Chain A
Amino acid sequence: MKEQEKGMTIIVKTITRLTVGLILLFGIYIVAHGHVSPGGGFAGGVIVALSFIHIMLAFGKEEAFRKINQNVASFFESLGAILFITLAILGIGSGYFFVNFMSKGKPFELFSSGFMPLANLAIAFKVGSGLFIIVIILVMFKISKEGDNR
């Protein structure tokens, strides 16, 4: 039981050390290119959350909390919500709620289509940190319940 709380075997830890950066980078790519290619804020946010959950499964929850703890996750969730609402309200200045007020730019470029990359970023912050918080809560609940039984 004590070995399981510290994490999995050394094979899993080594593979995790190699792959977790690639998973995080792929999530950031999916978020940043959400308006150009398939993907977007939701899928990219879930992939970013999965990279931290990957650390938590392989190394145990202490190592994952050293990377990103609960306060940081809740800060990013609130930041995503405030950023999205701010983008929506700024649109009132040039028309109505949620108008795309920035310049459109050229298609197929990274900085195009107005405020969509920023909105994707906000959604990714919100979804990723929200799902990470849910997994943290469920895992902590399980461990505390086992501790009560012991």
Chain B
Amino acid sequence: MIELQIILIFMIIGALIAVRTKDLLSAVIAVGTVGLGLSLAFLILKAPDLAIAQLVVEILCVIILIRATIRKDLPFSTSGRWLFNTFITFIFLAVFIGFGYFCMRDLPQFGSPIMKIAQHFVSQGLKETGATNLVSSVVLDYRAYDTLGEATILFTAVIGVLAVMRRVGRKK
């Protein structure tokens, strides 16, 4: 597991560079290295499906970031209502940490397999679905409703981008 920790440290350094650097192109490339490290971490944790999806989505995100936002001078104001903003930030942090504590309290320890349903998928998946890729058998057979929801999310995202970026609305 030492290589996983090396990759995690590499990702943290990349994220810090992405936040702290002044150049926008360097920040985008640093975000890309974070995604590459995440893909390698999935590969080390033996999840090749996730590694492939993460890698290609990361490439697409970097292309979109470079093509769509690199020339713009993004307005980022740090002055103004800093007291109100800090107050809201702390409230949200407290809410998230509180919910996270109550949700994570009942979870089992990392790596202790008490999952009965997953055990059923692993032992009976090939016989029941006929797919040798177990991830595919879960995504498209046992949990196909989730895939339908994911397709709906993507459809909604396309409609949302079209609605925000359309010509008629921008001319007004």
Binding site for B on A (CB under 8 A): 30, 34-43, 46-47, 49-50, 53, 57, 77, 80-81, 84-85, 88, 97-98, 100, 104-108, 112-114, 116, 119-120, 123, 126-127, 130-131, 133-135, 137-142, 144, 146
B16 at the interface (CB under 8 A from A): no
The answer to whether A39 and B157 have CB atoms under 8 Å apart is: no
The answer to whether A49 and B60 have CB atoms under 8 Å apart is: yes
B67 at the interface (CB under 8 A from A): yes
Q: What is the predominant secondary structure among interface residues of chain B facing chain A?
A: helix
Binding site for A on B (CB under 8 A): 48-49, 51-53, 56-57, 59-60, 63-64, 67-68, 71, 126, 129-133, 135-137, 139-141, 144-145, 147-148, 150-151, 154-155, 157-158, 161-162, 165, 167
Chain A residue, CB-CB nearest to B166: A137
A149 CB to closest chain B CB (Å) equals 10
Give 29 pairs: A residue, B residue, CB < 8 Å, sorted on A. Answer: A35-B133, A35-B137, A35-B140, A36-B133, A39-B49, A46-B56, A46-B60, A77-B155, A80-B151, A84-B147, A85-B148, A88-B148, A97-B145, A98-B148, A100-B141, A104-B129, A106-B130, A107-B130, A108-B132, A113-B130, A114-B129, A114-B130, A116-B129, A116-B130, A119-B140, A126-B151, A127-B154, A137-B161, A138-B67
